[in-house]
Amino acid sequence: MNAPTPPPPPPYAPPPVPPVVDLTAPAAPPVEPWAEVPHPPPVAPPIAPPVEPWADVPPVAPPPVAPTPAEPWAEVPPVPVVTPPAEAQVDDPTAPSLWAEPAAATEAPEERARVGGIRDDQLPGRLDVHQLSQWFNKRKVLERCSLSMEPGEVTALIGPSGCGKSTFLRALNRMHELVPGAELSGQVLLNGVDIYGVDMSPTEVRLRIGMVFQKPNPFPAMSIADNVLAGLGLSGSKTDDPEGLVEQCLRRAGLWAEVKDRLNESGMSLSGGQQQRLCIARSLAVHPDVLLMDEPCSALDPISTRVIEETIRELCHDITIVIVTHNMQQAQRVSDQCAFFLVETLGEPGRIVENGPTERMFDNPSDPRTLDYVNGRFG
């Protein structure tokens, strides 16, 4: 468990039924509770040994399959083990579980060899949205949006105000259930499991798919450290090393150096940018597969925005990030993939006009409306 040695190839023992990953098992490497489900072609999910997810690897140069000790590990503290909450565990063994690590894992070695350790595919947190439509009080605000969000990538949702980007984002972790009169159709698949499926608990979904909001909102009644650990208490998880978890999450959010001497102060005493990074750290503490960010920088100054963007680039190596942004330059800077939302005429629902790799979307979009938008001709 102690870095800097890279972890051994994980023992892919099929988990007992109910399929809950027991992360406290002594032999288990400190992996994220990640799930792999046989996925329909063309994207087969091959498995590669889990690399330390927090490894600080440059995005352009993915490491080989068996990574050699890398410099950044030296700084990373030992990873505390987080036990999944009892409440999130599904009693019914046949029920789909986002915690499940199904049989696909055992077939992994060959596939892994074939794919040759493309880092992106090893990670959990693949999100596929199929024909998602959303209604509020019978008014349709989103129509047939389909999008795949690859693990290890940053997907930016762009578009003018009121085009349904935030609605789409919030549908990804069942936040609309808080709103009476919200209905939807279509599917949202996390690792191939429909998060809106029968017996799927919203709390479990939200534990796997974290969210950072527009306005920084640390819990006022808690200190900085308690804020980071809040997710554990809130989801009923436990950790054997709270201090280590706090340090690890704050480091990953790029906040450790600034707050390490005042962990017991109130979270409200931080600046806006620091508060937002504290919120990111808070989301990381429960080890989500996916992190949704709803305009995380819109309430912040340019300096804090840059720090957060750097944090996003660091994080995306081991977590799927979906970010809503109004800022075209920001989308260009942080994202690998873009989806452009648009309401064509007033009163119509929003649709995805075009999506694709960021570079293509900005340099050579196929749709003229996208071209107009990314060049600032409207919106």
177 binds other proteins (CB under 8 A): yes
Min dist CB 53 to other proteins, Å, is 18
Residues 6+ apart with CB under 8 A from 368: none
Q: Out of 234, 263, 328, 371, name the contact with other proteins by CB under 8 A.
A: 234
φ, ψ dihedrals at 155, nearest 5°: -105, 125
Would you say 273 and 234 are in contact if contact means Cβ atoms under 8 Å apart? no
Would you say 184 and 130 are in contact if contact means Cβ atoms under 8 Å apart? no
* 337-to-62, 151, 156, 164, 361 alpha-carbon distances in Å: 18, 11, 6, 18, 8
Residues 6+ apart with CB under 8 A from 248: 54, 76, 77, 79, 80
Site string for other proteins, 45-84 (x = CB under 8 A): ----------------------------------------
Site string for other proteins, 190-209 (x = CB under 8 A): --x---x-xxxxxxx-xxx-
Min dist CB 206 to other proteins, Å, is 5
112 binds other proteins (CB under 8 A): no
Question: Distance (Å, rounded) from C-alpha 32 to C-alpha 50?
Answer: 9
Query: Which residue matches tokens 């795949």?
Result: 148
238 binds other proteins (CB under 8 A): no
Q: Out of 127, 141, 156, 230, name the contact with other proteins by CB under 8 A.
A: 230
183 binds other proteins (CB under 8 A): yes
Question: Distance (Å, rounded) from C-alpha 180 to C-alpha 29?
Answer: 43
Between 140 and 306, CB nearer to other proteins: 140
242 binds other proteins (CB under 8 A): no
Question: Distance (Å, rounded) from C-alpha 192 to C-alpha 101?
Answer: 12
Q: Out of 52, 121, 128, 153, name the contact with other proteins by CB under 8 A.
A: 128
Residue type, 114: R
Q: Out of 158, 189, 323, 324, name the contact with other proteins by CB under 8 A.
A: 189
Subset of 292-331 contacting other proteins (CB under 8 A)? 292
Question: Distance (Å, rounded) from C-alpha 110 to C-alpha 341?
Answer: 39
136 binds other proteins (CB under 8 A): no
Q: Out of 110, 233, 359, 364, name the contact with other proteins by CB under 8 A.
A: 233
- Which positions touch other proteins (CB under 8 A)? 39-40, 85, 87-88, 128, 130-131, 133, 135, 143-146, 173, 175, 177-178, 180, 183-187, 189, 192, 196, 198-204, 206-208, 210-211, 213-215, 217, 219-222, 230-231, 233-236, 266, 268-269, 279, 282-283, 286, 292, 351-352, 355
